[in-house]
Structure 1
């Protein structure tokens, strides 16, 4: 059997490119949480980021189509910058002070807590030394009340005790000085820390935001350009074989993300701050190999269009294309929810169900299950499914699968149920819809504008 070395290289590129992203990309949100960045801020960053993609993806696609002689140089530069930023993110120091892993505390005695030294407290807050305040709600045997607590800076995990916490709300302190038995076995629910001022002035926060935007933008742009190159290599008569090339990316991602999750847990030794050094090493190794693959990759010359923008705008006048872009945007919304918040949800569920010691392993298994059971199978079968059902019915089927998937995850009682759901539902929801979108984008692409159209379609997919 004759080996098609060009297709072999594109398969290897997908494998090592997705493998280089696997140790970092899925864990960015939870790593931000470890740095001390609140869920609200992470959510805000993730809300702004897709808008950035919507703008830059078509721009870079146009650049790749217009400067065809420089496309490999741009391609390699983008790969290097993206993964360098990924590596630097893991070198950022965490913000000082405790992390509020659990908002619920049990069997806490309010009477044992001391009043804060307000002069020292004001100085500590102003200096951003890690002292953090929040409102806590007490549910005791004979009374319920709320009071502000200040958590001392010299702790990793926030706990309520005389050595780690003091009372701020003077008016409520009297409730803690009553009968000890009344307030001994209290359950406490604390809000998120109020440390926005220190957060917004920290080097860690702004470095994380900038590096995250550059690395994720670069990764998504690089991915869409890779897809455009893949279709150029396959040619029009073999475009339905795109899924068989892309599945190698899923294999690489699945292998490395599972390995990465295990290694993070292994080297962290159940610490509050997880050790991501192993992830950095995996990124470096896979990036270097992918760089070599990209250098050797031979890109067929495309007939260059001098009216790229005009051709694309003409395309957008079609109602069919507008409806397709709307479908792409809706799928992007679903995928963004899963991408940014699934692991965060799993971490919260792990804490609530006492799976903290196996949290990263479970996350790695979930991502591996997504890749191996779902993506590999459906990327492989996508060509036959599209040929059998057509693009319209395929989109409808994927919508139904996404709705079912999100509904089942909301009902999961432990992280292991999430693993099972993702095992079966990632393929028909994400992998099939992604292939259908990318393939249809190639079908409608005018001559010489493949990267531009792929950038536009994937920008809408990830930017809405």
Structure 2
């Protein structure tokens, strides 16, 4: 087939790849941070993204088997495309869970401050809160604090709240007792026991609960290690409806508090690990349900869409890359456009407005449905026993190695998709944080246009030159080198040249995975095999990779994680080369012993002959 000739029957599938990826790009990359903005903790978001690939793992082979059994590929394809639109668009109407409770301490002295500490090692907290309040001089928090006798005396004498001077024999709120026991070990000790020689303090039988509203001045913020100190602008007692007071004390006194703040930055910094997990909230479960529905919809559309594409290509599966590259064009273009629109609609707002992204998604995926109706699905041979045919295929050693390769590829992909931006943001100095989203947008552009697009384009030529088996080894080698390069980064902007390797680690990887699955699939099981391969890559590889990498990032620096991944993948690449060498050698010996000889002609085998030729040591030609 001439390189630049255009087959009319392939135009709709090209348009589908473009519109589907362009339609999902405005929403899918931003869903984790969208969930964060709704008020869900990183733990809950991690739980969701661990469960989602498992749902795809169940849906892909099941829907593929149904499509093969009843020959309804196109109907299922369009139905699940509609499901994706409805579930994505419905997410826009989920309200936030409300303000989250955080932990902070009051430090009262000549100047009073609140202390908020972070557990994520963010060294740019002061810059972030100052940037957040660039249009406002103050921000407000409501505090519930536990005050001992020293703190209450300071409140009484220095804050102008005399009613706390007579606060004797009050009982604290029950839920405040645990906080008091944890943070105030001197409760119940006398002044002499504490080594204090000041005049006796008012006697109280227990620490007292104070409900305060505080006015903070973010411009007067400093950071020391992992804690942020923000200056008071005023304090008001909510129990007694008093006026605003300037909080100063004659000596340093402290009180632990629970707080709800207007500032999103403070809320992210001081997250309370004991805050109630919102499993009971209908908002959380609505979001989970819509995430599962959209993920299943996308998974089935991708799996059956690839099956339809290979059916149209017939005896030219090496041309798959020419069709799929339009998906990279759509993704790279509209992920950047969506990010720009969200920033424009969110100017002068702390919370991002994702409305334009959802509307762009709905329009593009609706156009995809209109285009997909025009796709002419090729007729297929119907398998008499899908389970038997698939089971027989899975008994071959080469197929087992191929499945393991898909799992390793999924685990490596999960590290890049879920933790690359995390690593880069940790590398960015405080001054570089202002442009970090621009960098992330450029990364996606380069990944698509500089990496995936050209390698999808040359994938057919690459398979002819080195074959599928060597392509698999090349992908593993590229993953290892890419991870090692990430591990030595000092300046995050230097990652841009590394993203060109995405052409090998995703473009070549995905083209190899799908075309190999199409070649080896027995007649009538094409959708089942594509679904099974996709499920293994997604349900096992992505899920396991996310879990493992997340655990490693929790205990190690990003550079260490990428270095370990890189070294392990290079070892696996070596083992893959060795295993394929011995399998190819045994195949040659078996064919020679059987008197069949060795066919050195370069060709794509039919599905029935595929297993015997998957050593793939020769060049492939059009057939």
CA separation in 2, counterparts of 1:246 and 1:73? 21
The structure that has the greater radius of gyration is 2
CA separation in 2, counterparts of 1:292 and 1:461? 30
Give, in angstroms, the shift of residue 11 of structure 1: 0.3
In structure 2, the residue corresponding to 1:194 is in which secondary structure?
Answer: coil
Equivalent pair of 2:59/2:299 in contact (CA under 8 Å): no
CA separation in 2, counterparts of 1:10 and 1:96? 44
Distance 1:114 1:232, change over 3 A: closer
- Runs of 4+ displaced beyond 6 Å: 99-102, 119-124, 150-155, 163-166
Q: 2:58 aligns with which of 52, 55, 58?
A: 55
Q: 1:82 aligns with which of 79, 84, 87?
A: 84
Are residue 41 (structure 1) and residue 69 (structure 2) matched? no
CA separation in 1, counterparts of 2:436 and 2:442? 10
In structure 1, the residue corresponding to 2:276 is in which secondary structure?
Answer: helix
Are residue 224 (structure 1) and residue 300 (structure 2) matched? no
Equivalent pair of 2:142/2:213 in contact (CA under 8 Å): no
Equivalent pair of 1:379/1:431 in contact (CA under 8 Å): yes
CA separation in 1, counterparts of 2:86 and 2:35? 18
Equivalent pair of 1:30/1:343 in contact (CA under 8 Å): no
> Match of 1:66?
69
Distance 1:120 1:405, change over 3 A: farther
> Match of 1:263?
341
Give, in angstroms, the shift of residue 268 of structure 1: 1.4
Equivalent pair of 2:143/2:213 in contact (CA under 8 Å): no
Give, in angstroms, the shift of residue 401 of structure 1: 1.2
Are residue 248 (structure 1) and residue 330 (structure 2) matched? no
In structure 1, the residue corresponding to 2:378 is in which secondary structure?
Answer: coil
Task: Give the number of equivalent residue pairs.
Answer: 416
> Match of 2:363?
285
Q: 1:387 aligns with which of 464, 468, 479?
A: 464
- Residues 408-450 of structure 1 show CA distances to partners (whole Å, capped at 9, x for unaligned) of 334434442333322x121111111111111110110000111
> Match of 1:448?
524
Distance 1:445 1:461, change over 3 A: same
Distance 1:204 1:448, change over 3 A: same
Are residue 333 (structure 1) and residue 411 (structure 2) matched? yes
In structure 2, the residue corresponding to 1:305 is in which secondary structure?
Answer: coil
Distance 1:160 1:81, change over 3 A: farther
Q: 1:368 aligns with which of 439, 442, 445?
A: 445
Listed as ranges, the gaps of 5+ residues in structure 1 are 125-133, 136-149, 167-172, 179-188
Are residue 431 (structure 1) and residue 507 (structure 2) matched? yes
> Match of 2:31?
28
Q: Give the TM-score, by structure 2 length.
A: 0.61
Distance 1:200 1:397, change over 3 A: same
Distance 1:114 1:95, change over 3 A: closer
Q: 2:485 aligns with which of 401, 408, 423?
A: 408
Distance 1:339 1:2, change over 3 A: closer
Distance 1:286 1:41, change over 3 A: same
Q: Give the TM-score, by structure 1 length.
A: 0.80
Larger helix fraction of residues:
1
Give, in angstroms, the shift of residue 224 of structure 1: 1.1
Listed as ranges, the gaps of 5+ residues in structure 2 are 103-117, 130-140, 147-170, 177-181, 184-210, 219-227, 237-248, 255-267, 541-623
